[in-house]
């Protein structure tokens, strides 16, 4: 088991290296803006631009630049400075992480509860009106673009412009440490909007798996033995039906922690997603590197946890 974990950890480290290298290559080779020219202001002379370029280390060959970046990262946990305003990238990222985590965690809780709940209900009452209605709604849920849903939600419920002004609108995010109540109310709409497509997907997935499982022989046996329906469903049925959900949940959460760009854009939440988007737009390589690495880190570690969880459950996996 330990050997398996070690092997996977080694691969994780390699993956992160690969991600940082590829990101560097993409944005170094194809930069969409010139950071030295950006910082040099409106009327610089070529000497000024050249000195800024030298100061930022941009006149070095690419492998030197990459080597310097990795050295700083590994030995000093230093992500460099933003080309835009010279702010340390680490500070930028960590100051925006809480917002993204707030958004992801709350939405995750919501979609798990709703998705699993609806999935179970639909599975134990197959082909009833309830089942059809909920699966129909789920279909709509996975078909609607999340940013559009966000706009519709704002149009309907936002306190400043909505038809039924009951919830704080866009740009109302407040950190938890400042004002817990406002933090909570400002996130209600984003949580709901973000959770919709996931809840829909999970409910469909669970319903399908659970229905299949509930038709297996051993379930029939359990029922015949006289176990209550509740026990049958929860202790026996759900147990096997839930495993793919766990996998997917881990992966989804991993991706979301790296920043939900679309939701953050619509609701103006100052998270990692918006930071990564604006850094790409401004060709701010150090910030791009930092946010992409962070996103990859979450994804890769989520994968790792899920894999370890499976290896724990199923010893055969460890020897693959």
Partner 1 sequence: MKSIRVCSAALLALMLSLTVAACGSSSSSNTSTKVGAVPAEQSLTGKTGGNLTVVASSDVDYIDPGAAYYQFTFMVTTATQRALYSFGPDDAVNAVPDLATQAPDVSSDGKTVTVKIKSNVKFSPPVNRAATSADVKYAIERAFLPTVANGYAGAYFGDIIGVKEFQDGKATEISGIDTPNSTTIVFNLNRGTGGVVAGALALPISAPVPKEYAAKFDAKNPSTYGVNQVATGPYMIEADSKGALTGYEPGKKINLVRNPNWDRATDFRKAYLDTINIEEGNDDTTVASRQILSGNGQVNGDFGPPPPVLKQIVNTTPDQLALTPSGGLRYVSLNTTLAPFNNLNVRKAVLAVFDREAMRATRGGPLLGPIANHFIPPAMGGFDEAGGLTGTGVDFLKYPKGNLALAKEYMKKGGFPSGMYTGSQQLLMVGTSGGAAQKSSEVAAAQLEKLGFKPKLRLVTQDSMYTKFCNVPKAKVVICPNVGWLKDFADPQTILDPTFNGKNIVDVNNSNWPQLNVASVNSAMDSAEVVVGASARNKAWAAIDRQITAQAPAIPWIWDDTANIRSTNVAGVINKFNSNWDLSFTSLK
Partner 2 sequence: MSTGVPRLVEPSSGLTAADPLEFGTIAGRTPWQLFWRNFKKDRVAIAGLIFIVLLVIAAITAPLITKLIGATPPNLINTDALDSFGTPTGPSSEHLFGVDPLGRDVLSRTLYGARVSLEVALISTALATFIGVVLGLVAGFFRGWVDSGISRLMDVLLAFPALLLALGLAAACSLGDGCAVSTPLQAAGLATIIVGLLGAALSFARGRREMVGASLVVVGFGLFFLLIGSFFTIKIEPGAGVVIFVITLVSWTYIARIVRGQVLSLREKEFVEASRSLGASDARIVFKEILPNLIVPIIVYATLILPTNILLEAALSFLGAGVQPPNASWGAMIAEATSVFDTAWWYMLVPGLALLFTVLAFNVVGDGLSDALNPRQEGS
Q: Identify which of residues 269 and 302 has a Cβ nearer to partner 1 in the complex.
A: 269
What is the distance between the alpha carbons of residues 36 and 52, in angstroms, rounded to a whole number?
6
Nearest to 66 by CA among 293, 282, 273: 293
Q: Which of residues 118, 266, 306, 311 is near partner 2 by CB under 8 A?
A: 266
Q: What count of Cα atoms within 13 Å lies in the side-chain half-sphere of residue 33? A: 16
Q: Report the partner that residue 134 touches, choosing among partner 1, partner 2, none (CB closer than 5 to 8 A by kind).
A: none
- Interhelix angle 272-281/89-124, rounded to 10 degrees, is 120
Q: Which of residues 90, 208, 270, 297 is near partner 1 by CB under 8 A?
A: 270
Q: Identify which of residues 85 and 177 has a Cβ nearer to partner 1 in the complex.
A: 85
- Pick the stretch among 31-39, 65-73, 206-214, 312-320 that binds partner 1 (CB under 8 A): 31-39
Per-residue interface string for the shown chain with partner 1, residues 121-160, x marking contact by CB under 8 A: ---------------------------------------x
Any idea what DSSP says for residue 56? Answer: T
**How many residues are present in the chain?**
320
Q: Are 16 and 294 in contact (CB under 8 A)?
A: no
Chain mean position to CA 150? 17
Any idea what DSSP says for residue 94? Answer: H
Per-residue interface string for the shown chain with partner 1, residues 211-240, x marking contact by CB under 8 A: ------------------------------
Backbone angles phi, psi at 299, to 5 degrees: -60, -50
Q: Are 192 and 110 in contact (CB under 8 A)?
A: yes
What is the distance between the alpha carbons of residues 79 and 303, in angstroms, rounded to a whole number?
24
Summarize as ranges the residues that interact with partner 2 (CB under 8 A): 11, 15-16, 18-19, 22-23, 26-27, 29-32, 126-127, 131-132, 135, 139-140, 142-145, 147-148, 151-152, 154-155, 161, 201, 204-205, 207-209, 211-212, 215, 255, 258-259, 261-262, 265-266, 276-277, 280-281, 283, 288, 291-292, 295-296, 299-300
Summarize as ranges the residues that interact with partner 1 (CB under 8 A): 32-35, 37-49, 51-52, 54-55, 81-82, 85-87, 91-92, 95, 160-161, 169-171, 268, 270, 274, 281-283
């Amino acid at each position: 088991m330990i050997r398996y974990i070690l092997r996977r950890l080694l691969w994780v480290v390699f993956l992160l290296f690969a991600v940082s290298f590829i990101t560097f290559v993409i944005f170094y080779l194809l930069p969409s803006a010139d950071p030295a020219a950006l910082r040099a202001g409106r009327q610089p002379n070529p000497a000024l631009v050249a000195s800024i370029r030298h100061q930022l280390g941009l006149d070095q060959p690419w492998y030197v630049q990459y080597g310097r970046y990795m050295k700083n990262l590994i030995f000093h946990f230093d992500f460099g400075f933003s080309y835009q305003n010279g702010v340390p990238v680490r500070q930028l990222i960590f100051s925006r992480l809480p917002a993204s985590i707030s958004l992801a965690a709350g939405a995750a809780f919501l979609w798990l509860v709703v998705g699993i709940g609806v999935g179970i209900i639909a599975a134990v009452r197959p082909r009833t009106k309830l089942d059809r209605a909920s699966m129909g709604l789920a279909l709509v849920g996975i078909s609607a673009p999340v940013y559009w849903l966000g706009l519709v939600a704002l149009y309907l419920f936002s306190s400043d412009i909505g038809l039924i002004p009951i919830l704080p609108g866009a740009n109302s995010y407040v950190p938890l440490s400042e004002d817990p109540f406002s933090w909570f109310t400002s996130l209600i709409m984003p949580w709901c909007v973000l959770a919709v497509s996931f809840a829909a997907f999970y409910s469909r997935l669970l319903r399908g798996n659970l229905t299949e499982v509930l038709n297996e022989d051993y379930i029939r046996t359990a029922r015949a033995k006289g176990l209550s329906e509740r026990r049958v469903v929860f202790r026996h049925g759900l147990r096997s039906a839930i495993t793919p959900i766990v996998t997917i949940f881990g992966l989804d959460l991993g991706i979301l922690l790296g920043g939900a760009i679309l939701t953050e854009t619509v609701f103006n939440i100052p998270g990692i997603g918006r930071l990564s988007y604006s850094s790409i737009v401004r060709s701010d390589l150090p910030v791009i590197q930092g946010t992409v690495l962070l996103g990859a880190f979450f994804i890769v570690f989520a994968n790792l946890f899920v894999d370890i969880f499976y290896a724990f459950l199923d010893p055969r996996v460890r020897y693959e």
